Every structure is written in C-alpha cells, then in structure tokens.
Structure 1
Amino acid sequence: MTEVLTAAGMRAVEHAAMESGRVTGLELMERAGQGVVEAILEHWPDRRRALVLCGPGNNGGDGFVVARLLAGLGWQVEVLLLGDADRLPPDAKVNCDRWRRMGPVSGLTDAHMEGYAGDNPGVDVTVDAIFGIGLTRPFQSL
C-alpha cells in the first residue's frame, strides 16, 4: 500500500532524512528530478521539447534538476523562473546555477502564462515546478 502524506508529513520526512545525515537537500532534489524525468520518459518516450516552469522555492530547484537531466538526454529545454534567482533558497540556487551552465533562465511573466495556456506547438511537455508543498495561500496571477 502506498502511503499518502500531508504537506506537514512530507516536510517532517524530509527534515528527518536530512537531520539523520543520510541525505542532503541537494540529493533529495536530484532524486525528485530524476523521478520526474523517469515519469516523463515513461509517458512520452518520443517527445523531445520541454518547458520547465520554476518557482521561487525548493520546488523550483527540482525543476532545474529536471531541465538539466532532460537536456542531458538531448531534449530541447526552455526554463522560466518566477522570481529572482538571487533570492532562491541555497539548494535551489545551486541547481539554478548548474542549469545556467547548460542554458538560459528567463523570467516567468503573465504574458508567458497566457501564451502557454493553450496548445503550444513548440513544446511537447510542460513541467510545473512553480509551487510545491510550501504554498499556503491561494494561487494568484503573476
């Protein structure tokens, strides 16, 4: 049976894993990104163009890992960031910098969201890494 965790439960599991010294936040991001890439390849094995939307927190860091791993597999990847890269949490910033050695990061705006809301022939897969378990307010427009 698969256990479903609440946001608080997931935070507790992540915190305990890191506090134990068995894993770092960067390793957890890498594992999360790898899991997303595996799911993408399972569901869309013949696709090769991705848009990765990264948020201002650690979920955005997961998105940068996804972008890097897909690009490493020969995918054409575009990355858009909501917020300021200099204000990312430390682990997310490391992964942003890793991605930037491979490709650019553009700012995510309302105009982007409107442009990507419908069918986009330039993108096969869109990865939403904007908000993760830390979002505690209603979603609003950019």
Structure 2
Amino acid sequence: MLYRGQNRSGHDRNNGVVYPKGSSLTVVPRFDGSWVADGKFTYGESENNAVRAHHIDTGKWNGCFISTTRNYEVARYFATTDNTCDGVIYHIDETLFDRYGVVASELSDLLYAGETEVSVRSEDCGPLPPEIIVRIDEVSPL
C-alpha cells in the first residue's frame, strides 16, 4: 500500500482529486543551484530527470510526478502540514496501477531516505485515477 498525505484545505479545494503540480513527463535539469552534478541527473530531457527533480521539490521544472510513501506516519506528517492542521491520507493500491495507467518510480538513493518516497504519475500526466484510491482517512495533528 502507498499513502499520500494532503492537508484538508488542499483536499477540499480539489474535491479529493490528486493532481500533479506540473504537466511534463520529462524535464531538463537547469543550473539553478538546487542540485549537484553527481551523475544522478542525465544530460538533456528525460523521465529520470523528472523523478529526480520531483524529489528536490514537487513539480520542479514542471514535472508531473506525485509523492507517495510506504510509511503511513510520513503521510500523516505531510497531511497535517508539519502537525499544524487537519488533513487526509489517501490509501493507494499499487496493484491497480497497470489497470488504470499509473506509473511508479522508486529510487534506491532517495534524497530523504526516511520518507520512503515513491513517485507516481498517470500515463497522461494528469490527476491520479480515483479508482486506485481505496480509502481516505481524516487525520489531525498529533
């Protein structure tokens, strides 16, 4: 199971639909000081670059990936915006990804390893299909 934390205002504003911040499947890394030339990014435009950029900042350089995690408590932390507001946690069934056209990318060298992040996207780079969300929990700050 994957989890996606979202603060309550974002959940309500989007009517429970999980949208990416960007719309591009591939990105070109830009020399903006947010990354180092350590071989993780590739030259030119690629999906790998979009995943790596996403780990730096959601939607960076217009990538269409969405953050999920394998850790419920990490999702809770993000849902409550660092324990400052109410939120929701989407339970996402990754066994349904093939059926509904969702692609997952899980890096072995995560920028923030403790988050156990899995970057996901719809085939069309749009919102996640609602069919893969099997439950939504309401959560409050601890």
| Structure with higher strand content | 2
Report the TM-score when normalising by structure 1.
Answer: 0.27
| Structure with higher helix content | 1
Report the TM-score when normalising by structure 2.
Answer: 0.27
Which one scores higher on RCO, CA 8 angstroms, separation ≥ 6?
2
